[in-house]
Amino acid sequence: MSELTFYTHPMSRGRVVRWLLEEVGIPYTVEAMEYGPEMKTAGYLAINPMGKVPAIKHGNTIVTEVAAICAYLADQFPDKKLSPPPHSPERGAYYRWLFFMAGPFEMATSAKSYGWKIDSSNAQAVGCGQLEDSINTLEKALSENAYICGDQFTAADILVSSYLWWETMQNNIPPNEVFKQYIARTESRPAAKRANELDDELAKQMKPVSI
């Protein structure tokens, strides 16, 4: 098995990847990166030229971007059944929701957080549309199935659940009973609890971060 190194900060999107790594259950080395100059060193920029976390190095393969890391790890360890089979009907939904969260949902919630104007006058010109569109789309999907791709928990659920929890906590999306039940269902998984404990403990060792 190739060695895997996980570059992260416990108060970052790295928490999503940590959860996935715990679901996969393979050994990995953690490189905890402080915000600021440490993420901009030549050594780390060779891993991610953006100077951001998370990132992974698996053998000689480097992967950045949360959704890409989720998809990569799920495919590398198919025995964990964290992605639908390649030719199954659910595979299309799996790709759809990974990219939906990384694209329209994150863009729309970022716009809300930072006061960027997206309304009926310009929504057609931006890929994310209005935030209400993303919320309604997710609510409909999660009202119909236990998980985002149907009856099977996948890596896409890790992304969806993590982002919904964060944006609800940040008050970027309003409280929603469908989302609340879904988050409770996914975050009750042993790997989710274990990942939170590991990152909470790591956070105690890092410099305070203002969010």
pLDDT digits (tens, 9 = 90+) for 47-63: 999 999 999 999 999 99
Domain that holds residue 27: 4-81+192-205
Contact 156, 166 (CB under 8 A): no
What average pLDDT does the segment 108-121 reach? 89
Residue 198 lies in a domain: yes
Are residues 50 and 74 both part of a single domain? yes
Contact 157, 147 (CB under 8 A): yes
Residue 131: which CATH number? 1.20.1050.10
Contact 159, 101 (CB under 8 A): yes
Contact 202, 30 (CB under 8 A): yes
This model's pTM is above 0.85: yes
Mean pLDDT of all residues in the chain? Answer: 95
Is residue 135 pLDDT above 80, yes or no? yes
Is residue 197 pLDDT above 90, yes or no? yes
Are residues 123 and 50 both part of a single domain? no
Residue 75: predicted pLDDT: 96
Q: Say how far apart CA 209 and CA 87 lie, in whole Å.
A: 43
Q: Shortest CA distance to 159 belongs to which of 192, 199, 113, 115? A: 192
pLDDT digits (tens, 9 = 90+) for 72-86: 999 999 999 999 999
